[in-house]
Amino acid sequence: MCPGVHTHDKVVVCYVASWAFYRKPSEEASYDIGNIEPGLCTHLIYSFAKLNPESFRMEPFDSWLDLKNEKQGGGHDWYRRFVGFKKSYPHLKVLLAVGGWEEGAKKYSDMAASPEHRRSFAQSALEMIHEYGFDGLDLDWEYPGHEGRGGRPEDKDNFTELLKELRRLFDNKTAGLLLTSAFGAAPRTAKSGYDLKEVSKYLDHLHLMCYDYHGTWDGKTGHNAPLRGSLSLLPEGQKEETAEDSVDYYLGEGVPPEKLVLGVPFYGRTFLLKYDSVGDGLGEGAESVGFQGPFSKADGFLGYNEVSNIGHD
């Protein structure tokens, strides 16, 4: 048995943020493909590919990192190396994710609104999966129906149609290809964007993003990923959204429990208290920008390596 390979029958999905490769090179900051421990996972997901807003085809996001680029004198060849983990870990399923927060919602909304564009996207996704040897696709459209990010109300139905097209094409061309998708955890996001009972028919797993419940955008402090509501720290009368609430909502909407995967963040959110805050608990007033970590250099964000180093400098 390979080191770290488990014998349980649970689904353990691990997303790999490829852009971490570009962080300041040091033992604590840079994350190369050799740092991945595939034996901890049953499913390994490469994040992210992108959607071309003109052709509505799926493409590599960073060809210099993702591909070999022989014509350009080299490249880091991460796609091939990532898929190569399956040679040493035969239990492993390796998927390619498309989308993410930085991609926005508008071009996915535009693509899904047209049957022709949906077919074009699905065909390109299948071609990429075959070309690079992935086991399936993970769709990270964040989020259908989110008008503030360029979505439209009809995204809810179009998202279902997109998944239906992907499932049809995958099953017709290559038996066994996996189709998964990431879902917003907040019930208000789910209500506007997903017909959960219907989309569950076409997906192997639904990845529930149980994080970012709170951040500097709230104007006050709050847990990034609360499991259950705090009984005493929030101001009286306020109810905190929690992972437990999200899971209960998805199950209540008809998602089969064996298809629902609970997302756990390996990062934290940071806050700077406002000068007139009177305490240090949840719900205190916070500035619109949180402090940065020394490696990630992102406002209001600390990676796992930065959280674990607090107090050890």
254: left (phi over 0), alpha (psi -120 to 50) or beta: left
The residue among 149, 38, 127 whose CA lies nearest residue 88 is: 38
Annotation marks residue 147 as catalytic:
no
Q: What is the DSSP string of 9-31?
A: ----EEEEEGGGGGSPPSTTT--
* Annotated catalytic residue, options 142, 241, 284, 306: 142
The residue among 146, 43, 55 whose CA lies nearest residue 97 is: 43
Q: What's the sign of the alpha-carbon dihedral 263, 88, 303, 22?
A: negative
Q: 218-225, long-range: CB within 8 Å, 24+ apart, which pairs? A: 218/286, 219/285, 219/286, 219/288, 220/283, 220/284, 220/285, 220/286, 221/271, 221/273, 221/281, 221/282, 221/283, 221/284, 221/286, 222/282, 222/283, 223/282, 224/265, 224/267, 224/268, 224/269, 225/264, 225/265
- Coil vs helix vs strand at 209: strand
Task: Just list the catalytic residues.
Answer: 142
